[in-house]
Amino acid sequence: MPSYDLIVIGSGPGGYVCAIRAAQLGMKVAVVEKDKTFGGTCLNVGCIPSKALLHASERFEEAGRAFARMGIKVATPALDLPTMLRFKDDAVDGNVKGVAFLFRKNKIEAHAGVGRIVAPGRVEVKPAGGPGSTLDAKAIVIATGSDAARLKGVAIDEKRIVSSTGALSLERVPRHLLVVGAGIIGLELGSVWRRLGAQVTVVEFLDRILPGIDAEVARQFQRLMEKQGISFKLASKVAAIDSSEQVLKAAVEPAAGGAASTIEADVALVAIGRVPYTEGLGLEAIGPKLDERGRIPVDGRFATSVPGIYAIGDVIAGPMLAHKAEDEGVAVAEIIAGKAGHVNYDVIPNVIYTSPEVASVGKTEEELKAANVAYNVGKFPFTANGRAKANQQTDGFVKILADAKTDRVLGVHIIGADAGNMIAEAAIAMELGAAAEDIARTCHAHPTLPEAVKEAALAVDKRAIHM
Ligand code: FAD
Ligand code: NAI
């Protein structure tokens, strides 16, 4: 029976990064993956294909709308959807092959099949249709990720009623796309299909979009999305979707109860969150017991209640983000190797890759108010930033929240072009315990969008220069 120092179940960003770090630390490592390719949700049906489609559809819209304003004359762009979908598939292919290369380079042994933990230190691998095999290890890391949450009574066929996976591969542009859930997936993929020509209506249970994001940012973002043509029906829920005819008929009710109205659409995207995935792992027999939301409980060292079994990524508590899973992968490998692995959950950036982008790190105003923390706000709009004006991309602002007593940066919220890249500066500042004044005193290149971050830091002390 093959024997390892570590078996990682799942090759998503949590699992594959954990395996590589463990191999770097000298461990003999095996990875068990049930899907045909490595990389998990993120590389196959998540981050990478969605960003490829966001990129391509943004260029499509830019060519149609913004080029003429810059003096670039092109014929009205025509959509070649099969080629755009191939562009997305190529992006996935390149990334998943990259993981296979890294496994070979780090001498990580990959086993294809569903991994089931039959005892602490023992994993049975069952390939589809083939005989199973058994592997032994000193430690096991569960990195089995998550799956789309289902809407009660609504069956997903991935053709007309789709999860994000189906929405990444629609064969034609829907005339009307109904999106259930104004979260990150709904707004990213809603943006993609709107740019390609669909009418998009988003139905959201709460009375606001993007729960968890700073409310002021979410309000401005909703206005910008509406200007782009996306309609929102807030405080509403989809009670049922009738798919018996050619057009889908969704019964939409006020969240608080009341009479339903009907929305007709040709495709419905259900994007109401994701749930941890533990199917087939055999946890019912050997533990650990799942919490009320189906997550695997772990302690500060990612250890479950079963000795030698650890868990990381979407299958445990915390934001379901690839970089959070990756950092946990590194930390748990270091902990198993006897080092001091650690993840700072106060500094996990969050980016929504729409146009403009939304990016944040640290606390929102609502969280600081709820915790009774006194804070100062520094805000700077992109309308006053030279580079944004040059590019004529002036939507949005940077907002910095700093402790009223110490000036320490507690949260940074950006809405604007390239916000996702700009948030890295804020994350480093927070990781190093910077004060707003530290950012304000740091020389920023001109003309760049990050100058707005510096100006927002100056604005904390009411001394922004260009406002
Ligand atoms: P996963 O990536 O889900 O990987 C789990 C792996 O385990 C899978 O390959 C699965 O096949 C395998 N597995 C499960 N059970 C078994 C078993 N018993 N045996 C063997 N193998 C098993 N996050 C971001 O940070 N940025 C983004 O831009 C972003 N975009 C997203 C877009 C979409 C449409 C979606 C759906 C998600 C997106 N996410 C994004 C979230 C991100 O994909 C997840 O947070 C991340 O993939 C979690 O990593 P993980 O390693 O925990 O699990
Ligand atoms: P989400 O949690 O971001 O948003 C779900 C939305 O659906 C919420 O606003 C919620 O109030 C609403 N909702 C729930 N039930 C509803 C109902 N019955 N009717 C109407 N609305 C309802 O979940 P989403 O968008 O599915 O994404 C899942 C996760 O995937 C994200 O939370 C994120 O962790 C990850 N992700 C990250 C991305 C990024 O980092 N750029 C991109 C895409 C996904």
**Residue 400 burial (C-beta neighbours within 10 Å; 0-12, 13-18, 19+):** buried
Q: What local confidence, expressed as pLDDT, does residue 15 receive?
A: 98
Secondary structure letter of residue 281 according to DSSP: S
Say whether pLDDT at 102 is over 90: yes
Most ligand 1 atoms within 8 A of CB, residue of 42, 269, 352 to mutate:
42
Mean pLDDT of 438-457: 98
Ligand 2 geometric centre to CA of 285 (Å): 31
User: 1: pLDDT confidence band, cut at 50, 70 and 90?
Assistant: confident
Domain 350-460 has CATH 3.30.390.30: yes
Select which of 342, 413, 446, 466 is catalytic. 446
Q: Is the peptide bond before 211 cis (omega within 30 degrees of 0)?
A: no
Q: Going by C-beta distance under 8 Å and a sequence separation of 6 or more, which residues neighbour residue 213?
A: 221, 350, 352, 358, 360, 364, 413
User: 338: pLDDT confidence band, cut at 50, 70 and 90?
Assistant: very high
**Residue 434 burial (C-beta neighbours within 10 Å; 0-12, 13-18, 19+):** buried
pLDDT digits (tens, 9 = 90+) for 233-268: 999 999 999 999 999 999 999 999 999 999 999 999
Percent of the chain with pLDDT over 70: 100
Helix axes 322-336, 13-24, angle to 10 degrees: 30
Atom of ligand 1 nearest to the CA of 320: 45
Structure tokens at 108: 């990580």
Atom of ligand 2 nearest to the CA of 320: 34
pLDDT digits (tens, 9 = 90+) for 31-59: 999 999 999 999 999 999 999 999 999 99
Mean pLDDT of 427-452: 98
Residue whose Cα lies nearest atom 19 of ligand 2: it is 237
Ligand 1 geometric centre to CA of 12 (Å): 5
Quick one: which of 169, 147, 149, 151 has its CA closest to 250?
151
CA distances from residue 21 to 28, 35, 313, 325, 337 in whole angstroms, order as listed: 11, 22, 15, 13, 10
Residue whose Cα lies nearest atom 34 of ligand 2: it is 320
Say whether pLDDT at 211 is over 90: yes
Mean pLDDT of 290-313: 98
CB 232 near ligand 2, within 6 Å: no
Is 446 in the active site?
A: yes
Q: What is the mean pLDDT of the chain?
A: 97
Q: Going by C-beta distance under 8 Å and a sequence separation of 6 or more, which residues neighbour residue 462?
A: none
Domain 3-147+275-336 has CATH 1.10.287.3510: no
Most ligand 2 atoms within 8 A of CB, residue of 205, 210, 358 to mutate:
205
Q: Is 408 helix (H, G, I), strand (E, B) or coil?
A: strand
Quick one: which of 357, 362, 403, 402 has its CA closest to 378?
402
Range 338-344, long-range pairs (CB < 8 A, 24+ positions): 339/25, 341/301, 344/431
Atom of ligand 2 nearest to the CA of 319: 34
Residue whose Cα lies nearest atom 2 of ligand 2: it is 273
Residue type (1 letter), 443: C
Residue whose Cα lies nearest atom 41 of ligand 2: it is 352
Domains in the chain: boundaries: 3-147+275-336, 161-272, 350-460
Please tell me the number of the ligand nearest to residue 236's CA: 2
- Find where tokens 């990580």 sit: 108
pTM (two decimals): 0.97
Q: What local confidence, expressed as pLDDT, does residue 130 receive?
A: 83
Residue whose Cα lies nearest atom 40 of ligand 2: it is 351
Mean pLDDT of 215-232: 98
State the Cα–Cα distance between residues 265 and 263, nearest whole angstrom.
7
Mean pLDDT of 384-389: 98
Residue whose Cα lies nearest atom 15 of ligand 2: it is 272
- In CATH, the number for domain 161-272 is 3.50.50.60
Ligand 1: which residues within 6 Å by Cβ?
Answer: 9-15, 32-35, 40-42, 46-47, 50, 114-115, 143-146, 164, 185, 277, 280-281, 313-314, 320-323, 325, 353
Please tell me the number of the ligand nearest to residue 351's CA: 2
Mean pLDDT of 71-88: 97
Mean pLDDT of 113-136: 95
Q: What local confidence, expressed as pLDDT, does residue 217 receive?
A: 98
Ligand 2 geometric centre to CA of 228 (Å): 21
User: 129: pLDDT confidence band, cut at 50, 70 and 90?
Assistant: confident
Task: Please state the separation of Cα 142 from the chain's center in Å.
Answer: 20
Mean pLDDT of 136-149: 98
CA distances from residue 324 to 44, 312, 313, 319 in whole angstroms, order as listed: 18, 9, 7, 7
Contact 175, 198 (CB under 8 A): yes
Handedness of CA 306, 307, 312, 316 (dihedral sign): positive
Contact 365, 215 (CB under 8 A): yes
Ligand 1 geometric centre to CA of 322 (Å): 7
Domains 3-147+275-336 and 350-460 fall in the same CATH topology? no
User: 303: pLDDT confidence band, cut at 50, 70 and 90?
Assistant: very high
Ligand 1 geometric centre to CA of 324 (Å): 11
Percent of the chain with pLDDT over 90: 98
232-243 exposure pattern, b = at least 16 Cβ within 10 A, e = fewer: bbeebbbeebeb
CB 53 near ligand 2, within 6 Å: no
Quick one: which of 417, 230, 274, 426 has its CA closest to 347?
426
Structure tokens at 8: 């990682």
Ligand 1 geometric centre to CA of 166 (Å): 16
- Find where tokens 């405080």 sit: 235
